[in-house]
């Protein structure tokens, strides 16, 4: 899961106008990837890029920002925030940090990508035969860039139309070429991408929350199978790169990834889902407890709605360090489970002697929830119950979310009762898949639910079949 963003501005009052706008808006997609980030600007002739490890803008002082602004001129540009689902545990591949850049018939273009392209060997070989020398062994982004750069089509959009049907998987792209930003979505619109504008700029972003700081308004989503070309004057053209389309939006964006203030699919926000899901969860799996507490911050909206529907007080029983912790700050050997203890602390004054119910957004691996339950018992809870705002995740995702092996998924390997025992809770219940669909307010056929029900919207990779 990554964040992608592109901006094009007209009548730029400053030469570094796009840089400052990208820095402002990029901050609002930083939650989508904290491993690395990159920013690219163009003055129409040249491109200027800065890439770094860590969270968006981490380590950028005022002085460094001013120096970058002097270098990164132009009225259009891209941002990428990286959450890598490839190349983990192997050698470090700094070239994976996006945006990527290359030339198309001598003219530079930049590309930011969110998703997962699979069955890559054929495509890598095709690009190699066309003369591309790969710098990364694992980057699917480089494969897309290589195929565009080596296309023999005379026109950039024609090259894109030639390459996109070759890509198997889920993807959203924002491309910078010739001073224009180009938004692309896969045939099922699995990963998000939307368009916004204010009086002097047009923006493409993974999430609409990035529009707010520059007072831009949401226009619409980029549609499945669509290419949208935007110049400084506005939307120049939108075309279909395929007619074989259907809407299968990733429901996990509603559950976990997206910010609650983002409009995701058919004008539904992540807040809408979480609020509804909390209420439905209360109908499907009520609890006898003295207090509802959220597993912060993902469980907050679910917990609010759940508590309100049951008429049970909602209290802050777990305090989350608002500045978070980077994994390198934790003592050596700290696993996900122990990291949870470092990230949030129980409030004994709230929990002691009480029957508490923790509301979580999801349970993927059995790493975080057992520690949260134990922390509540250690703080003196009499009973600890767990309720979850998404169904059990039984199947892997190959569409860009870091759930790629079934052995890591607790629900793929253990029954609900076994999971409850491992978590150490007095009771455990999830919202049903039907309840989740209802909470989106969208028809089932517009959603990808594959990690919950195993019905994949696009053909699985060869290695999975
Ligand atoms: Fe989203 Fe799950 Fe579908 Fe992956 S399998 S795209 S996480 S709904």
Pair 325, 221 in one domain: no
**Are 202 and 293 found together in one domain?**
no
Two structure tokens written together for 98:
């996006």
Do the strands 291-294 and 355-360 form a parallel or antiparallel pair, or are they unpaired? parallel
Question: Ligand 1 mean position to 247 CA, how many Å?
Answer: 13
CATH number at residue 373: 3.40.50.2020
- The answer on 430 and 369 residing in a single domain is yes
What is the Cα–Cα distance from 275 to 255, expressed in whole angstroms? 10
Residue 422 has pLDDT above 80, yes or no: yes
Closest residue by CA, ligand 1 atom 1: 250
Q: Can you give the pTM of this predicted structure?
A: 0.94
The response to whether residue 1 sits with its C-beta less than 6 Å from ligand 1 reads no
For 283-376, list the strands marked E by DSSP: 291-294, 314-315, 318-320, 344-346, 355-360
Confidence of residue 337 (pLDDT cuts 50, 70, 90): low
> How far does residue 190's CA lie from ligand 1's centre (Å)?
8
Q: Is 464 among the domain residues?
A: no
Query: 395 alpha carbon to ligand 1 midpoint, in Å?
Result: 9
Res 333 pLDDT > 60: no
Of the candidates 89, 84, 68, the residue with the CA atom closest to the CA atom of residue 36: 84
Q: Which residue has its alpha carbon closest to ligand 1 atom 2? A: 451
**Centre of ligand 1 from the C-alpha of residue 100, in Å:** 25
Place of tokens 């570094």: 16
Integer angstrom CA distances of residue 383 from 202, 342, 355, 375: 52, 23, 4, 12
Evaluate: CB of 451 within 6 angstroms of ligand 1. yes
Helix 270-284 and helix 300-310: axis angle, to 10°? 40
Residues 335 and 204 in one domain: no
Q: Which atom of ligand 1 is nearest to the CA of 190?
A: 6
Whether 12 sits among the annotated catalytic residues: the reply is: no
- Ligand 1 pocket member 448 (CB < 6 A): yes
435: which 2 tokens?
Answer: 């309840």
Check residue 95 and give its pLDDT: 60
Q: Are strands 291-294 and 314-315 parallel, antiparallel or unpaired?
A: parallel
Q: Are 82 and 156 contained in the same domain?
A: yes
Domain that holds residue 85: 3-246
Digit-coded pLDDT (tens) for 301-319: 999 999 999 999 999 999 9
User: Ligand 1, closest atom to CA 191?
Assistant: 6
Distance between CA atoms of 297 and 418, rounded to whole angstroms?
26
- What are the start-end ranges of the E strands in 370-426? 383-388
Residue 115 in any domain: the answer is: yes
Select from 263, 104, 255, 80 the least CA-distant residue to 172. Answer: 80
Decide if pLDDT at 327 tops 60: no
Residues 118 and 196 in one domain: yes
Shared domain check, 134 and 80: yes
For the chain, how many residues are written?
465
For residues 287 and 215, state if they share a domain.
no
Same domain for 285 and 328, yes or no, is yes
Domain assignment of residue 398, yes or no: yes
Whether 292 contacts 314, CB under 8 Å: yes
Task: Quick: pLDDT tens for 86-96.
Answer: 554 444 455 67
* Ligand 1 binding pocket includes 397 (Cβ within 6 Å): yes
Q: To test the ligand 1 pocket, which listed residue (32, 190, 392, 401) has its Cβ within 8 A of the most ligand atoms?
A: 401
Q: Is the pLDDT of residue 233 over 60?
A: yes
Residue 312, helix vs strand vs coil:
coil
Hey, is 225 helix, strand or coil? coil
Of 2, 12, 448, 451, the active-site residue reads: 2
Average pLDDT in the chain: 92
d(CA 86, CA 83): 9
Write the CATH number for 200: 3.60.20.10
Instruction: Tell which atom from ligand 1 comes closest to the C-alpha of 252.
Output: 1
pLDDT of residue 71: 93
Q: Which of 236-245, 354-363, 393-402 has the lowest mean pLDDT?
A: 393-402
53 vs 43: CA distance, rounded Å = 25
Same domain, 91 and 152: yes
> Does a structural domain hold residue 253?
no
How far CA 151 is from CA of 110, 157, 158, 170, 182, in Å, comes to: 16, 11, 9, 22, 17
Quick: pLDDT tens for 173-193: 999 999 999 999 999 999 999
What mean pLDDT do residues 272-300 have? 97
In a domain, 311, yes or no: yes
Taking CA atoms only, the protein residue closest to ligand 1 atom 6 is: 250
In this structure, the answer to whether residues 133 and 212 fall within a common structural domain is: yes
Same domain, 239 and 288: no
Residue 305 lies inside a defined structural domain of this protein: yes
Domain count, the chain: 2
Q: What pLDDT score does 11 carry?
A: 75
3-state secondary structure of 406: helix
Q: What is the pLDDT of residues 123-139, one digit of tens each?
A: 999 999 999 999 988 88
> Is any atom of ligand 1 closer than 6 Å to the C-beta of 295?
no
Question: Residue of the nearest CA to atom 4 in ligand 1?
Answer: 397
Ligand 1 mean position to 47 CA, how many Å?
34
Residue 366 lies in a domain: yes
Domain annotation covers residue 284: yes
Listing from the earlier edge strand, what are the strands of the sheet with 47-53? Answer: 47-53, 36-42, 76-82, 3-9, 201-205, 194-197, 217-221
Least confident range from 76-85, 91-100, 110-119, 399-408: namely 91-100
């Amino acid at each position: 899961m990554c964040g992608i963003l592109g901006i094009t501005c007209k009548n730029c009052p400053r030469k570094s106008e796009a840089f400052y706008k990208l820095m402002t808006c990029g901050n609002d997609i930083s939650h989508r990837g904290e491993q690395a980030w990159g920013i690219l600007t163009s003055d129409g002739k040249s491109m200027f890029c800065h890439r770094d490890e860590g969270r968006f803008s981490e380590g950028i002082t005022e002085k460094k920002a001013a120096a970058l602004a002097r270098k990164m001129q132009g009225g259009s540009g891209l941002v990428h925030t990286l959450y890598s689902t490839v190349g983990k545990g192997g050698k470090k591949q700094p070239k994976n940090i996006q945006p990527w850049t290359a030339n198309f018939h001598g003219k530079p273009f930049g590309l930011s990508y969110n998703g997962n392209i699979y069955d890559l060997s054929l495509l890598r070989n095709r690009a190699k035969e066309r003369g591309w020398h790969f710098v990364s062994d694992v980057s699917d982004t480089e494969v897309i860039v290589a195929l565009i750069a080596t296309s023999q089509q005379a026109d950039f959009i024609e090259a894109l139309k030639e390459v996109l049907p070759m890509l198997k998987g889920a993807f959203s792209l924002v491309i910078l070429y010739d001073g224009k930003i180009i938004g692309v979505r896969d045939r099922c619109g699995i990963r998000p991408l939307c368009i916004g504008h204010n009086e002097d700029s047009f923006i493409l972003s993974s999430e609409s929350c990035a529009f707010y700081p520059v007072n831009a308004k949401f226009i619409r989503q980029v549609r499945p199978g669509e290419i949208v070309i935007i110049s400084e004057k506005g939307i120049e053209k939108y075309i279909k790169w395929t007619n074989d389309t259907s809407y299968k939006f990733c429901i996990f964006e509603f559950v976990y990834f997206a910010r609650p203030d983002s409009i995701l699919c058919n004008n539904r926000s992540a807040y809408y889902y979480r609020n509804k899901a909390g209420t439905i969860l209360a109908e499907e799996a009520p609890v006898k407890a003295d207090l509802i507490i959220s597993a912060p911050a993902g469980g907050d909206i679910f917990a609010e709605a759940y508590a309100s529907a049951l008429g049970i007080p909602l209290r802050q029983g777990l305090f989350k360090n608002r500045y978070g912790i980077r994994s390198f700050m934790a003592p050596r050997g700290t696993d996900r489970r122990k990291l949870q203890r470092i990230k949030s602390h129980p409030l004994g004054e709230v929990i002691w002697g009480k029957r508490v119910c923790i509301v979580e957004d999801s349970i993927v691996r059995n790493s975080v929830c057992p520690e949260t339950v134990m922390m509540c018992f250690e703080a003196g809870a009499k009973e600890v119950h767990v309720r979850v705002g998404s169904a059990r995740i039984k199947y892997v995702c190959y569409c860009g979310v870091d759930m790629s092996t079934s052995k890591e998924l607790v629900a793929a390997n253990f029954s609900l009762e076994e999971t409850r025992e491992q978590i150490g809770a007095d009771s455990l219940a999830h919202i049903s898949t039907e309840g989740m669909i209802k909470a989106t307010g969208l028809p089932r056929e517009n959603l990808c639910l594959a990690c919950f029900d195993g019905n994949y919207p696009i053909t699985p990779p060869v290695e999975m079949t």
